[in-house]
Chains A and B, each alone.
Chain A
Amino acid sequence: MLKIKKENINTLLEELMKDYQVYAPVKNGSKAAFKVIENPDDIFTGHVKSEYSPKSVFFPQSEVLFEYSKEGVSIPEKKEKPYLLWGVRNCDTKSIRMLDKVFGNARQAPDKDMYKDPYWKQKYDTSIIFNFACNAPLTTCFCNWFGSGPFDESGSDIFVVETKDDLIFKGISEKGKELLKKLSVSEISDKKDEEAVSELKEKAVSMMPEVTDISALYEKLPKLWNEPIWQEISSKCVNCGACAFICPTCHCFDVSDEGKNGKGKRVRLWDSCMFPIFTMEASGHNPRGNSVDRVRQRVMHKFNYFKDNYGTHLCTGCGRCVVVCPVNLDIRDVIKDIINYELNKKVPADV
């Protein structure tokens, strides 16, 4: 492992900024989001997790697919340096890897280029992620339910631990290892550093909530399809979609033309399965016309359908939806309620 003194971080970042477009948490009003930095001092470090996830780096809330005019369509040329993400937590690293399964096309035959998303791939394929360990997880964190944890290195290109005076770097992917070799971070970490890392890790892990065993979730969900639990769960949901927009793994989008007089842009915009119009057809028919169906869809997609297609739950336990939900509909409670739900419960005849 290599290390750098904290006072030299800016020098390192300036070096990285020469070859990369560096994205890092930047304070935007009262909240932090991943933005391109122009100066290393722009980076906001006073939190554990940015309020907004870095999904927007690769999958912006609004993205131009092409421009059109009477002459035809054209894709706006973009000459960008490769993307480098600095200060990403493991929940978000994992989310980005999950989204690559969708946009990078793990499901269709790999030779079917039409099913690869060129806008995602252009940004993602050359990117590099500096995944920072979480020294002080939040009370809303529950990544350990998904087998992860505050010091999980998996999925990182470069894993970083912040000790009292240093940043300790460990190359994880080939890409990460190669980059580390090139950088002017040459001080080798010693035994004392390793002890410091283990100590931080132990402390961070102890701050995590008790693990809820979710292994039964996937198989149980389809059995609950017609059960009244969905009424219970959805009864307080206001279908605002905040959970989907803040979620680092939600990736549904709308496509819309914006322009006038025959000239404009076709854009894609984040969308949410919580909105009635999401599935509303021109005829007026709506396959998911009520809130109960929509809440069930969101839970099923996260904990059953996605696993069918890509082998993993579509949730990393980042806890952002817990924070933003205006009616305190807590996904952790939803998961527990589903796991604890008694099927074939006898209802007293006189009820």
Chain B
Amino acid sequence: MCNGYLPIQMRVDKVLTENPDKTLKTFELSFLKDNDRENFKYMPGQFCEFSITGKGESPFGIASSPTEKDILKFTVNRTGSVTKEIHYLRPGDIVGVRGPLGNWYPVGKFKGGDVVIIGGGFAFTTLRSLLVYMLEHRSDYGKITVIYGARNPDLFIYKEELEAWDKRNDLILHLTIDKAVEGWTKLCGFVPTVTKEVKLDPKSWAVVCGPPVMIKFTLPVLKEIGFNDGMVYTSLERRMKCGIGKCGRCGIGSKYVCIDGPVFSLEELKNIPEAF
């Protein structure tokens, strides 16, 4: 019988420290078993339960794109007991992964349309997955605009990739920090303000992912510009355990974030007072 509670074993191949404070690390994992590698089919926006046996298990969005073959990437902010243990991992260590779990950004629906990606801080993980995926299938999509904000330049993740994306001419990238610092040549200001200023086409699809306060203030801006609630998506986070709709922990209204989400359109969240 298939057992959704059993993790597959994966090996840590690379550990990349994303910021000088070393609170953000990206882990690149590879599959130990061939059939796990073949069976693990995922889409941008899905998540996994990442565990170190004996230390615990926590959910993280998959930061790699399915177009990056044979590996999974997770970016982890050190904040609690499990993430502290994850930060101790070194290349060669074996970890447990359950997934892919949950639904994904509707990249199929996005086809032929313009897409706006709005992210904040280290929540850019599944947005990276989405962006890499769309760039690999570039001709399927219209204009791609990215607004990405962080408190300061150090707190952006995937800095090398951001530089490369910034040079592309088939992608508009707006990077913004909260307060001006010396040497920063890009935008300054909070994500909602920048969203208002950069002149977005309200007929686009939008994906918003970031800290709750950023989401809270960005959504009304999109509404004001004229975005359709059914075309604005966000990814929710809740404390989770099972990840398969049994343990009851991640409920928001009659939905479970783990199986009905984590990706929801604003249309779906409208009548769920607990969502934000």
Contacts and interface: CB of A to CB of B under 8 A. Distances in A.
Interface of A: 65-66, 68, 72-73, 75, 102-103, 107-108, 113-119, 121-122, 222, 225-226, 251-257, 259-260, 262-264, 266, 268, 271, 273, 278-283, 285, 287-288, 297, 300-301, 304-306, 308-309
B249 A252 contact: yes
B1 interface: yes
B243 to A, nearest CB: 10
B1 A253 contact: no
Contacts of A268: 241-242, 247
B245 A257 contact: no
A103 B5 contact: no
B253 interface: yes
Contacts of B5: 65-66, 118-119, 255, 266
B273 A257 contact: no
Contacts of B259: 107-108, 115
A305 B272 CA distance: 11
Most buried by A among B239, B246, B251: B246
Nearest to A257: B54
Interface residues of B, number: 41
B249 A279 contact: yes
Interface stretch (B65-73, B79-87, B182-190, B196-204): B79-87
B7 interface: yes
A191 B41 CA distance: 63
Interface string B49-65: 00101111110000000
23 contacts: A66-B5, A68-B54, A102-B246, A115-B245, A116-B4, A118-B2, A118-B5, A119-B5, A122-B1, A255-B57, A255-B241, A257-B57, A266-B53, A268-B241, A279-B239, A279-B249, A280-B239, A282-B80, A283-B79, A287-B252, A304-B254, A305-B254, A308-B254
Contacts of A301: 248, 251
A114 B49 CA distance: 14
A300 B54 CA distance: 35
Contacts, number: 123
A273 B79 CA distance: 23
A257 B9 contact: no
Contact of B1 (A66, A118, A256, A288): A118
Contact of A114 (B81, B244, B274): B244
Contact of B246 (A117, A279, A305, A308): A117
A157 B105 CA distance: 44
Interface string B200-240: 00000000000010000000000000000000000001110
A297 B252 CA distance: 9
A285 B212 contact: yes
B83 A264 contact: no
B6 interface: yes
